[in-house]
Amino acid sequence: MRIALGVEYNGAAFCGWQLQEAGVRTVQGCVEEALSKVANHPVVATCAGRTDKGVHALSQIIHIDVTAQRSMRSWVLGGNVNLPNDIGFLWAQEVDEQFHARFSARGRSYRYIILNRMVRPALLINKVAWDYRALDVERMQTAGNFLLGTHDFTSYRAVGCQAKQPVRTISRLSVTRQADYVIIEVSANAFLHHMVRNIAGVLMTIGCGEQAPEWAKAVLEARDRTAGGVTAPASGLYFQSVLYPEPYMFPQAVVPVL
């Protein structure tokens, strides 16, 4: 049986999603350990998109292959009993063998949250990015519009990115303000390593007035990572949702109210 599950996690205390050597705390390691206890046999979890150290997820999608017969409720509640408090299963759903959490995905969405005020966060430490400079969301949105569509995003990916090619298609990029919070939402067919964090870094530089909105386009056209400036911190980044074709209609993530 193949089962898809929705997973939320606070990535602050994890070294990313991907399983690493013994002793390194990863989301995948904790998820597989918990589900293996429910299944009573080893379980391997495949995710829709790997997240880096310190990055969070509102609804990461995974799939597992199991021989154990359990109810969907048992996979969720039994799994959660065996998980640490900073990870939780949201739902479970049986899927056919053609479904693949990563390769069946048609798009992914990320949310980047910036606390924009003079003083640093205390309650939301490691859950948001912080910028004391006044950010103009209209300038940031104008800049973001230059990134819509299909482009070579070499300037917006990490130097060590292992993707075979840098062309991606951004279908949506919005910048909004909610009181002291500036929220960047980006949807694309796929993302490169550090792509959203590098976009956020460029938009923040433009938002504070250090660069004109057109700089986002100039960085894009340079096709050179060194043209893009600072990579925004991982603490503000959330893996938000995944778009799949029918019949894979999964519950949507509930975005928390700040």
Binding residues for substrate: 110
**Residue written as tokens 């350990």?**
33
52 a catalytic residue: yes
Please tell me the distance from the alpha carbon of residue 257 to that of residue 148, in angstroms, as a whole number.
Answer: 27
Specify whether the CB–CB gap between 84 and 31 falls below 8 A: no
Of residues 52, 136, 152, 180, which has the active-site annotation? 52
SS3 of the chain: the string is CEEEEEEEECHHHCCCCCCCCCCCCCHHHHHHHHHHHHHCCCCCCEECCCCCCCCEEEEEEEEEECCCCCCHHHHHHHHHHCCCCCEEEEEEEEECCCCCCCCCCCEEEEEEEEECCCCCCCCCCCCCEECCCCCCHHHHHHHHHCCCEEEECHHHCCCCCCCCCCEEEEEEEEEEEECCEEEEEEEECCCCCCHHHHHHHHHHHHHCCCCCCCHHHHHHHHCCHHHCCCCCCHHHEEEEEEECCCCCCCCCCCCCCC
Known binding positions: 110
Catalytic residues: 52
